[in-house]
């Protein structure tokens, strides 16, 4: 997501099952809002512990979302649906700080949508939730991104190469947070035990 235009962040950890992300290149015949071509997108599917409604509640929490984004050093909450995310990254000996305005967008009960905007880039994401039993939920994560301003050409070029890895990293970080909240199962506990409480 937000980290796609820093070349050094191409490493990611596969957690649970994370099939190879699919990347969709922009179609010159498809216009994006505000003109131009459609944003490149990539998607990954992952199985997470917890019921769908409680996971959706967490995904609409901007602090929880920030926890899935590498290099976030500060979260300034503006409202229940808007926050400023400070991202600090280092390429070689050079550090770069950017502030993205993150916003949770209106969506269906089974889909969480969000947007993050900075002078150099816009990122849009969605997470569609599908229950897979009483204590597991499948998440389909989609990220779209395009550069803007003076860095647009550089960012768009990096997005094409790194977006598939980034969407997998983002999905893995979501699963890791949910798994940490669920906690380890007690020895001998049945696999059909009641799910942990993910509410705030």
| pLDDT at position 40 | 78
Distance CA 72, CA 88 (A): 7
Judged against a pLDDT cut of 90, whether residue 35 lies above it is answered with no
74-124: per-residue pLDDT in tens?
999 999 999 999 988 776 677 888 899 999 999 888 999 999 999 888 889
| pLDDT at position 91 | 63
Q: Say if CB 146 and CB 156 are below 8 A apart.
A: yes
Q: HSE (CB half, 13 Å, CA atoms) of 128? A: 6
Q: Who has greater pLDDT, 140 or 150?
A: 140
Q: For 53-59, what is the mean pLDDT? A: 94
Judged against a pLDDT cut of 70, whether residue 194 lies above it is answered with no
Distance CA 39, CA 147 (A): 9
Q: Tell me the pTM.
A: 0.71
Nearest to 75 by CA among 178, 44, 147, 66: 66
Q: For 3-16, what is the mean pLDDT? A: 37
Work out the pLDDT band at 46, boundaries 50, 70, 90: very high
Q: For 143-167, what is the mean pLDDT? A: 81
Work out the pLDDT band at 166, boundaries 50, 70, 90: confident
| Helix runs in the chain, H state only | 52-59, 62-66, 152-182
Ordered by where they begin, the domains of the chain are: 39-181 (3.30.530.20)
Q: Who has greater pLDDT, 94 or 10?
A: 94
């Amino acid at each position: 997501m937000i980290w796609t235009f820093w070349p050094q962040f191409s490493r990611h950890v596969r957690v649970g099952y994370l099939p190879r992300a699919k990347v969709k290149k922009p179609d010159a015949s498809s216009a994006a809002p505000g003109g131009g071509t459609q944003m490149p997108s990539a998607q990954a599917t992952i199985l997470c512990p917890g019921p769908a409604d409680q996971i959706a509640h967490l995904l609409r929490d901007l602090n929880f979302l920030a926890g899935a984004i590498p290099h976030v050093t500060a979260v300034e909450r503006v409202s229940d649906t808007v926050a400023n995310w400070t991202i600090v990254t280092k390429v070689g000996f050079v550090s770069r700080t950017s502030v993205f305005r993150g916003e949770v967008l209106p969506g269906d009960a089974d889909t969480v949508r969000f947007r993050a905007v900075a002078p150099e880039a816009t990122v849009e994401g969605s997470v569609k939730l599908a229950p897979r039993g009483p204590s597991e939920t499948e998440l389909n994560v989609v990220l779209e991104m395009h550069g803007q301003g003076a860095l647009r050409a550089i960012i768009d070029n990096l997005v094409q190469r790194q977006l598939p890895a980034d969407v997998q990293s983002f999905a893995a970080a979501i699963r890791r947070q949910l798994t940490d909240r669920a906690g380890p199962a007690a020895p001998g506990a049945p696999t059909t035990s009641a799910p942990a409480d993910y509410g705030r």
